[in-house]
Amino acid sequence: MAAIIFTVLIVLDQWTKGLAERLIGAGGSVTVIPGFFELHCSYNKGAAWSIFADKAWGLTFLTILSSVVLLALLWYLSKIENQKARIVLILLAAGSAGNLIDRLRIGAVADFLSFTFGSFVFPTFNLADSMVTVGAGLLIIFAFIDHNFLTTQFKKGERNSKPDPVDPEE
């Protein structure tokens, strides 16, 4: 089931980016909610907030890094049985894969969701970015609620659905 969800999320990400590219075009904008939300098609050659975008080696570095991270996430996903951990890994892996596909396809990541909060214009992003953000947020929440979450779920990639039993006499 994880593979199906992973695939659906990637397809959804790529489909929405393709729609933005075809219907809005690079640099184009469509206002959805005036003063708050618009669709603005742009391309980011760097990482978050265009970090490394002006570096010649940036795209290569980010592509290699994304590939390594994606492989690690998929490896952990194949080992984890805990549902919360699987949700986190599916979101992180699908988001990473969606943006990696863009880097390989067009040499940049297609972004199109743009929000304005008063005078603050939030950096334009896409669904893959949202998946990574939600996955990371859930990871933090789960770790905060269950202080053993990280150690019991991601310990050496072992299949762990429950924490190790604790000897009550210790």
Residue 112 covered by a domain: yes
The per-residue pLDDT for range 117-152, each reduced to its tens digit, is 999 999 899 999 999 999 999 999 999 998 888 777
Domain extent, residue 144, equals 1-25+60-118+131-156
CA distance 137 to 58: 26
Residue 37 covered by a domain: no
For the question of whether the overall pTM of this predicted structure is more than 0.75, the answer is yes
Residue 43 covered by a domain: no
Average pLDDT in the 83-107 region? Answer: 92
Segments in the chain forming alpha helices (H): 2-23, 58-79, 83-106, 127-145, 149-153
Annotated catalytic sites, by residue?
Answer: 111, 129
With a cut of 80, say whether residue 116 has pLDDT above it.
yes
Higher pLDDT, 160 or 15: 15
Nearest Cα residue to 98 out of 32, 14, 28, 158: 14
In this structure, what DSSP letter does residue 119 have? T
The per-residue pLDDT for range 16-71, each reduced to its tens digit, is 999 999 999 989 999 999 999 999 999 987 666 555 556 666 667 777 887 888 88
Residue 38 covered by a domain: no
Q: How many domains does the chain have?
A: 1
Residue 35 covered by a domain: no
Residue 31 covered by a domain: no
Token readout for 78 is 């194949």
